[in-house]
Amino acid sequence: MQLIRFGEKGKEQPGVLLHGARRDCSQYFEDWNRAFFIQHGLAELHRLIALEGNKLPLVANETRWASPIARPGAIICIGLNYADHALESGMNIPEEPIIFTKLSNTLSGPFDDVTIPKQSEKTDWEVELGVVLSKDVNYLANEQEAFEAIAGYCIVNDVSERAFQLERGGQWVKGKSCQGFTPVGPYLVTKDEVADVLNLKMQLHVNGAMMQNGSTQTMIFSPNFIVHYLSQFMMLEAGDLISTGTPPGVGLGMKPPRYLTKGDHVRLSIEGLGTQAQQFV
């Protein structure tokens, strides 16, 4: 299944993408949020689609695409999770996952404009695989249990302000939590439709020029490992979003570094998970 959300900011509604058409599920479900996932909503949604899928109301083409999940309890990110990205950043390959967070209010739609922060000269791009959880977990026993806790996968642009992140006291959350810095979508693909999550092509273009061209094959820590690992340190909740790191080609790693400015257009895609695009303003 491909879960979507649509509508103006603050009034988003849940839906699905069926045969290329957006369908409205709001008469059956409140939202794709923690309550939906924890109450086995995916199974109910699957039954609804099987019985009524083609009868669900169509969403108008001009209606805004929202993040495919409601605002999560947490956005947890994994830093330097691709060996070649760690090297381009001049940092050691981590022996354990590097964990940081983004404020959940940074969540935005896949085609929303992104505002460059005041005083920013180093706003950067990062195409990442997002993982959304289907249940609350803590102290998972193994990676199989972690896999069972995953609802599906999506595209995340982990937009970053490098000066805030690296030059202002070393606290990454400051460079990661500016308004609109987590575009997600266009849809959440349930895990049963992703044959091999560790073999997905990833690309990102800026103004039509390819900057990132990688694959989840070079990921150091797999999604299953990450979910299991995180559960040893914290309670993860249904609907939480985990962003699993980026391949090489970010602006920080270029010689000289290149950053986003007003009017730049960023387009990113992951095989099987769609394409998103933002204008930076």
pTM: 0.96
Residues 134, 263 within the same domain: yes
Residues 73, 199 within the same domain: yes
Q: Band of the pLDDT at 173, cuts 50, 70, 90? A: very high
Residues 51, 154 within the same domain: no
Query: What's the token pair of residue 52?
Result: 């009524």
Residues 227, 118 within the same domain: yes
In whole angstroms, give the CA distance from residue 250 to residue 202: 13
Q: Is the pLDDT of residue 88 over 80?
A: no
Q: Is the pLDDT of residue 4 over 80?
A: yes
Q: Which domain holds residue 185?
A: 67-279
Which of 22, 46, 65 is the last residue before a domain boundary? Answer: 65
Radius of gyration of the chain (CA): 18
Q: Band of the pLDDT at 93, cuts 50, 70, 90? A: confident
Residues 125, 139 within the same domain: yes
Q: Is the pLDDT of residue 131 over 80?
A: yes
In whole angstroms, give the CA distance from residue 208 to residue 205: 5
Q: Band of the pLDDT at 12, cuts 50, 70, 90? A: very high
Residues 121, 104 within the same domain: yes
Q: Band of the pLDDT at 169, cuts 50, 70, 90? A: confident
In whole angstroms, give the CA distance from residue 223 to residue 197: 8
Contact 116, 281 (CB under 8 A): yes
Higher-pLDDT residue of 88, 125? 125
